[in-house]
Amino acid sequence: MTASTQAAQHGLSEHSHGYGVPVQTRSERFSSTKLADFAAVSKREETWRYFDLDKLAGLDQAGLAEFSGDIGLTETNGITTSWVGSENPAFGAAGAPEDQPSAAAWQSASQAYLVDFAPETSFETLANLAVVGTSSEAEALHLIVRAGAGSKAGLIVNHTGTGNLGENVEIVVEDNANLTLISVQNWSKGSTHLASHFIKLGRNASVKHIVVTLGGDVVRVNPSAVFAGEGGSVDLYGLYFADAGQYQEHRLFVDHAMANCRSRVTYKGALQGEKAHTVWVGDVLIRAAAEGTDTYELNRNLLLTDGARADSVPNLEIETGQIEGAGHASASGRFDDDQLFYLQARGISEYEARQLVVRGFLNEVIQQIDDEALVAELTAAVEAKLERSGS
């Protein structure tokens, strides 16, 4: 797409103020399901500001192979699953790509794997969707999760194996539905995963969305949530732990387009080792019509060693003063040696003390996971990272 074409789609002429200047705010960002509608990836774009473009691994290119790994629910428990084409009404119901890898994956996946929770049904336990990568070839996957009106459901999407994956996840939560979705990225070494999550909430719908990022060389997860009806509520949680050489990026967008909705964002990360790098960017837009909005976003990073870097950028765009509240907080800090000394003075080894501090730091997110097996798995993974570091 030429600069003039992009400008025209945003209502700009070649002589307009700002013509040719990359979009800097999330609310103005262009979206399309066609890769050709986007310019080539550039560091001039805010969305790629921190990313090493050499690590895109071909996921920003057309013609990705369709996902060749294993995918499926371990237990269906009455949940409907199917592969659907783009003619299905659920395909594209939650949103559209805002960057090149998402668009490349969208147009490369001819079908989507649909997980459908029927209206007015209640599921007491979280279903488990296993996504197991088996190839280093650049591949595309499209998932759709739909919670029918009045339903109460939960799903864990567990990414493991070896992958070079561009992924779109559409999450449609209809009126009065309640959905918990947990996306776990625990890939093997050498994997790259670029994912976009699109969450659409109906009237009085509620969502708990949790992202857990542990394994893989490069992982980038972009969740966005938009309110399509009044009275909705969304909680976005994130937990990440980067080792030496790992790059983990999480970019969030909450679009308060309707009145009387609530959102909370809480992301916490730990880093250790040379060139461990995490990026968190949180964007919240409160539109003029979204009176009565109540929103807050928080990001905390714990740097366990020298050589690690955490970037954290919270942003608020507010177009109305008639709100309940809006705020954000962000902080990145070194490991507290005083805490370590206090614990060691009471007979606890240095390794055990570090383990306790890190676990306590991440516990605010871990306690939101209502699945004992997954909590045990994540706790073991965090402890294994600490042990490998020699901490």
Are residue 19 and residue 109 in the same domain, yes or no?
no
Among residues 357, 287, 299, 367, the alpha carbon closest in space to that of 328 is found at 299
Within a domain: residue 60? yes
For residue 334, what pLDDT is reported? 79
Which residues form the domain of 7? 1-30
- How far is residue 176's CA from residue 196's CA, in Å, rounded to a whole number? 24
Are residue 92 and residue 22 in the same domain, yes or no?
no
Amino acid letter, 353: A
For residue 383, what pLDDT is reported? 87
Are residue 167 and residue 189 in the same domain, yes or no?
yes
Q: Which two tokens stand for residue 310?
A: 């955490």
For residue 22, what pLDDT is reported? 55
Within a domain: residue 368? no
Q: Which two tokens stand for residue 235?
A: 């909680």
Residue 195's alpha-carbon distances to 4, 22, 169, 237, 239, in angstroms, are: 29, 22, 8, 16, 16
Are residue 190 and residue 151 in the same domain, yes or no?
yes
Within a domain: residue 176? yes
Are residue 10 and residue 145 in the same domain, yes or no?
no
Q: What angle do CA 278, 251, 283 make, to 5 degrees?
A: 125
Are residue 217 and residue 173 in the same domain, yes or no?
yes
Among residues 288, 310, 335, the one where a domain terminates is: 335
For residue 28, what pLDDT is reported? 74
Are residue 267 and residue 231 in the same domain, yes or no?
yes
For residue 391, what pLDDT is reported? 46
Are residue 111 and residue 19 in the same domain, yes or no?
no
Are residue 153 and residue 50 in the same domain, yes or no?
yes
Within a domain: residue 355? no
Residues 189, 136 contacting (CB under 8 angstroms): no
Q: What is the pLDDT along the chain (391 residues), one digit of tens a residue?
A: 443 344 334 433 343 334 455 555 666 779 999 999 999 999 999 999 999 999 999 999 999 999 999 999 977 777 999 999 999 999 999 999 999 999 999 999 999 999 999 999 999 899 999 999 999 999 999 999 999 999 999 999 999 999 999 999 999 999 999 999 999 999 999 999 999 999 999 999 999 999 999 999 999 999 999 999 999 999 999 999 999 999 999 999 999 999 999 999 999 999 999 999 999 999 999 999 999 999 999 999 999 989 999 999 999 999 898 999 989 998 888 766 776 776 777 778 777 777 788 888 898 999 999 999 999 999 899 888 888 765 4
Cβ neighbours of residue 96 closer than 8 Å, sequence gap 6 or more: 31, 32, 33, 106, 198
Are residue 185 and residue 75 in the same domain, yes or no?
yes
Q: What is the pTM of this model?
A: 0.91
Are residue 55 and residue 158 in the same domain, yes or no?
yes
Count of domains for the chain = 2
Among residues 286, 308, 335, the one where a domain terminates is: 335
Are residue 87 and residue 158 in the same domain, yes or no?
yes
